[in-house]
Structure 1
Amino acid sequence: MSDKHVKMDILNYFLETENTNICRICLEKATHAKYLFSEQEESKNILNKIYICFQLILNYDKYLPTVICVNCIEELNVAYNFRQNCVTFEKRFAIFYQQVSAKCNFENQKVEAEDIKDVTNIGSPISLPENYNRDAKVKISDKKIKDDVTNITQEKRLHTCTICNKTLKTNTSLLKHKYSMHQKRKHLGKVTGFGVDRRYHCPKCLYSTPHSQTLVNHMRRHNGDRPYNCECGKSFTQSSSLTAHRKTHTNIADYTCAICGKQFKHAFSLKKHLDVHETGKYSCDICHKELKSRQSLQDHMYRHYNIRNYNCEDCGDTFVTCSELLNHKKKHSRIKKVECHLCGYKTHTKKNLIIHLKRHAGDKSYKCDNCHMSFFTNGDLQRHKRVHTRDKPFPCPSCAQRFTHSTSLNKHMKSVHGIDCKWADIKCKQFQKQKLNADN
């Protein structure tokens, strides 16, 4: 046997013999110790307290100490009792509050109209309990008297609102609370908790908040009150919403993307934009496309099921997202604000300008896999691929003919059937018909 194995055997023997007298926690020799891993209830309670207080599980190992000393047990009990006091605080405070209220009522009946401030001017001797040992020469310090007076004063200062059960320190605060919350703001909801745990509850829904002003702003959603108005005619429930809206009327963009340099007027717009630079997080179950946000996945699924909740009031076109509708509405405006700095071309949207600038640069980044042709946009590439697949997704609603492009269908409808319409109109009617059949 090698020297290494001999040393290991000696070390293991030493650990097995010495561990019986070493505390598992402090590693001190313990004469009066408790075994940790027995089936007795006391050992189970010790392990349970260690787990509750520190989320630690002590497992048996023949090379590790298996006992705990008396000092560590005392420290564990202190920690466990402290945790129990923290956990049961609300329940114990409710009992304490009831006792304080009962004592305040008793003092009010006894003193009646006496002012709280007069309590500090104590001239009479302090009454002593019946079992007080008069022979003991114990002096009551001024600090003790002052603490007793302070406790009585604080107890008398507790005032509870009869409408929402909120507790305040002075009668003046209680009157201000009743006027501002229940008369001026007409809040009839409940207030629970005390101090930092206080919550203001909405009487019409499950909403709650630690701030009374936040609840006032929330109640405007139920009442329809929108006191903050913009010059453009829009109104809002909060002044912060009005301030954010007014930025849309200016060209000031204070927030810039550090990756692509795109600028935004609001911080939340920049935060939403940053999802564009991240890898896909959400996957479509139908086509397995990777999306970068939950909202993008929802909009993508709407396209699969042809759900279009946004409708143009001018032409009747429907869209999947609100941004698509807003970009579409710009087409109905006669004023084209986006201009090309190279040729003076004007358009309604930045997207069209980006495509136009690609034509200036000759950037045909979308290439066909079946031939040598390339295109400026992905839409042009998808339309070209139908030449190879011979797919004709645009059927005529009046006859059996089908077409590769929507423009070909529009020309066919006008020349053959004498109907001047667009594929978007036909698709919208088909969608409305399908929805009507589904409802029936």
Structure 2
Amino acid sequence: MYSSILSNCSTSTCRICLNKTKEDALNIFNDHEESKEVLSKIYSCFQIKLNSEKNLPNVMCKNCIDELNVAYNFRLKCLTFEERYVDSLKEMKAETEDGDNFDNKTEVHKSEDVPINAIEDNYNIYDHDITSDDTIKIKSETEHNELFNVPLSDAPNKFQCSICHKVLRSKVSLAKHDVCMHQKRKHAGRVTGSGASRLYHCTKCPYHTPHSQTLVNHMHRHDGVRPYQCVCGKSFTQSSSLAAHRKIHSLTTFYTCSTCGKQFKHAFSLKKHLLVHEKGNFNCEICHKTLKTKKSLQDHMHRHYNIRNYNCEDCGDTFVTSSELQSHRLKHSLEKKVECHLCGYRTNTKKSLIVHLKRHTGNKSFKCGSCDLSFYTGGDLRRHRRVHSREKPYPCPACAARFTHSSSLNKHVLNLHHVQYRWADFHPRDGRKIQNK
């Protein structure tokens, strides 16, 4: 019974309005030209493609077809606006010229006291003389185009910028473009496309953008111009970079991690921090360690191959990451800006202050699994574990002795071999690798 109802609806119900159809309804899925035209209009106007499906109506009533034709005709009006507008301007031009010619002929005949009927008889002669004059014709076209800001049909690039070759629609737009882009912003990029597909290309690198102001900011990097300056002395190429930098001087935190409660001043800092709480998806092929970001994996591989791209200008020490270099530079700073609010202890780094505050609170969160001891930092715990494993990774360079800690090795070389020796000075990579295990 249900299938019979659906089969009746497929031929007696309109596919669009669902009203009952009459005999004049059109089957829109047959091979007739009228049906194909209806489907084409629906897709052109609304980007909807109707398909013939089982148990669905396949006819369209006359009212819906009339509404579709109205929408389609309106779409054609929008698409052909420019052509129709140019035609209307040409008609206005012709009417203006006809009126001017008639006034001129009337004045000429009045000055010569010629009868009105003679004016009508000789109208075609004067009209022919005026329109055949090339000078007057060109002048009238030029005045018309300057009046309506429409380029000549035989010169589509009349309003083209000589610097970036962008084509403008009018003389006023060209003058405004020259002032805003090349005089005020000093923009010298190359422009391609038009409308939504317009792109502004950098002339010194492959960079391109759909926004002209973005290219202006980009060009500052090539020119070395940093117009946005902070009170602390730092300058930037973009105003957004300066706004982000100013948050560093503020004590207010704008973003908080919902997992651990840690607060940040920048959104990108919070986004980078959230990766700490995610499960790692990048595996090292050498040691099979799992890392959480592609950048972390790249830095990890640099440690395996001893690639150190960051070096300190003061002491020449090298580092794998820029954050390690920044932390190291604080050691050379004589001014200790970070201060403990409980005892007045001052240090160079915020990390050292966090470890110091743990000693006030007694928070030893790193516990040994082999004994009951606990420690303030992970480095202290790793060094303690060597007591249980009896690992001695620090060999003496002068004899066969080996030691659990580098400080023990340094004392051994000084007391037994009478030489000032520091393991970190000769094996910086190995020393850090042991700490990171």
- TM-score interval (norm. to shorter): 0.5 to 0.7
Partner of 2:135: none
CA RMSD of aligned residues (A): 4.9
Do the aligned partners of residues 327 and 25 (structure 1) sit closer, same or farther apart at CA in structure 2, a change above 3 Å counting?
Answer: same
Partner of 1:19: 10
1:64 matches 2:56? yes
- Partner amino acid for 2:313? E
Higher mean C-alpha deviation, range 345-354 or range 384-393: 384-393
CA distance in 2, matches of 1:51, 1:171: 39
Is the 1:284–1:297 contact (alpha carbons within 8 Å) kept by the matching residues of 2?
yes
Is the 1:256–1:263 contact (alpha carbons within 8 Å) kept by the matching residues of 2?
yes
Do the aligned partners of residues 275 and 219 (structure 1) sit closer, same or farther apart at CA in structure 2, a change above 3 Å counting?
Answer: same
Do the aligned partners of residues 161 and 313 (structure 1) sit closer, same or farther apart at CA in structure 2, a change above 3 Å counting?
Answer: closer
Secondary structure of the structure 2 residue equivalent to 1:160: coil
Do the aligned partners of residues 421 and 185 (structure 1) sit closer, same or farther apart at CA in structure 2, a change above 3 Å counting?
Answer: farther
Query: Cα distance, 1:285 vs. partner?
Result: 1.0
What do residues 81-109 of structure 1 show as CA deviations (whole Å, max 9, x unaligned)? 988999xx7xx99x969x97xx99xx9xx
CA distance in 2, matches of 1:341, 1:26: 75
Normalising by structure 1, we get a TM-score of: 0.64
Partner of 2:148: 153
- Partner amino acid for 1:237? T
Secondary structure of the structure 1 residue equivalent to 2:214: helix
Normalising by structure 2, we get a TM-score of: 0.65
CA distance in 2, matches of 1:305, 1:72: 72
Q: How many corresponding residue pairs? A: 375
Do the aligned partners of residues 121 and 374 (structure 1) sit closer, same or farther apart at CA in structure 2, a change above 3 Å counting?
Answer: farther
Is the 1:159–1:171 contact (alpha carbons within 8 Å) kept by the matching residues of 2?
yes
Partner of 2:236: 236
The 5-angstrom pairing of residues 411-430 of structure 1 reads 411-415=411-415, 419-428=419-428
Query: Cα distance, 1:274 vs. partner?
Result: 5.4
Query: Cα distance, 1:203 vs. partner?
Result: 1.4
What do residues 103-147 of structure 1 show as CA deviations (whole Å, max 9, x unaligned)? 99xx9xx99xxxxxxx79976679xxxxxxxxxxxxxxxxxxxxx
Secondary structure of the structure 2 residue equivalent to 1:360: helix
Query: Cα distance, 1:218 vs. partner?
Result: 1.4
Secondary structure of the structure 1 residue equivalent to 2:283: coil
Secondary structure of the structure 2 residue equivalent to 1:155: coil
Is the 2:383–2:405 contact (alpha carbons within 8 Å) kept by the matching residues of 1?
yes
CA distance in 1, matches of 2:351, 2:398: 35
Query: Cα distance, 1:352 vs. partner?
Result: 1.5
CA distance in 2, matches of 1:417, 1:57: 92
Do the aligned partners of residues 84 and 199 (structure 1) sit closer, same or farther apart at CA in structure 2, a change above 3 Å counting?
Answer: farther
Partner of 1:366: 366
CA distance in 1, matches of 2:327, 2:256: 22
- Partner amino acid for 1:28? N
- Any unmatched runs of 5+ in structure 1? 1-9, 112-118, 127-148, 432-440
Do the aligned partners of residues 308 and 79 (structure 1) sit closer, same or farther apart at CA in structure 2, a change above 3 Å counting?
Answer: farther
Query: Cα distance, 1:280 vs. partner?
Result: 0.6
CA distance in 1, matches of 2:18, 2:168: 52
CA distance in 1, matches of 2:98, 2:395: 98
CA distance in 2, matches of 1:212, 1:122: 45
Do the aligned partners of residues 397 and 430 (structure 1) sit closer, same or farther apart at CA in structure 2, a change above 3 Å counting?
Answer: farther
- Any unmatched runs of 5+ in structure 2? 104-143, 153-157, 432-437
What do residues 346-382 of structure 1 show as CA deviations (whole Å, max 9, x unaligned)? 2222212221222222222222223322222222222
1:283 matches 2:275? no
1:338 matches 2:338? yes
Do the aligned partners of residues 78 and 402 (structure 1) sit closer, same or farther apart at CA in structure 2, a change above 3 Å counting?
Answer: farther
Partner of 1:223: 223
Do the aligned partners of residues 54 and 170 (structure 1) sit closer, same or farther apart at CA in structure 2, a change above 3 Å counting?
Answer: closer
What do residues 233-276 of structure 1 show as CA deviations (whole Å, max 9, x unaligned)? 5443345544554554x454363537466555x53455446526
Is the 1:366–1:375 contact (alpha carbons within 8 Å) kept by the matching residues of 2?
yes
CA distance in 1, matches of 2:323, 2:420: 28
Is the 2:340–2:353 contact (alpha carbons within 8 Å) kept by the matching residues of 1?
yes
CA distance in 1, matches of 2:212, 2:177: 10
CA distance in 2, matches of 1:28, 1:168: 51
Do the aligned partners of residues 174 and 17 (structure 1) sit closer, same or farther apart at CA in structure 2, a change above 3 Å counting?
Answer: closer
- Partner amino acid for 2:26? A
- Partner amino acid for 1:289? T
Partner of 2:125: none
CA distance in 2, matches of 1:398, 1:120: 108
The 5-angstrom pairing of residues 38-437 of structure 1 reads 53-54=46-47, 58=51, 60-61=53-54, 63-69=55-61, 153-155=148-150, 159-168=159-168, 171=171, 174-175=174-175, 177-178=177-178, 181-182=181-182, 187-194=187-194, 198-228=198-228, 234-242=234-242, 244-245=244-245, 248=248, 250-253=249-252, 255-257=254-256, 259=258, 264=264, 266-268=265-267, 270-272=269-271, 275=274, 279-280=277-278, 282-286=280-284, 287=288, 289=290, 291=292, 295-296=295-296, 298-303=298-303, 305-396=305-396, 402-415=402-415, 419-428=419-428
- Partner amino acid for 1:275? L
Is the 1:310–1:325 contact (alpha carbons within 8 Å) kept by the matching residues of 2?
yes
Give me the identity figure in percent.
52
CA distance in 1, matches of 2:41, 2:279: 42
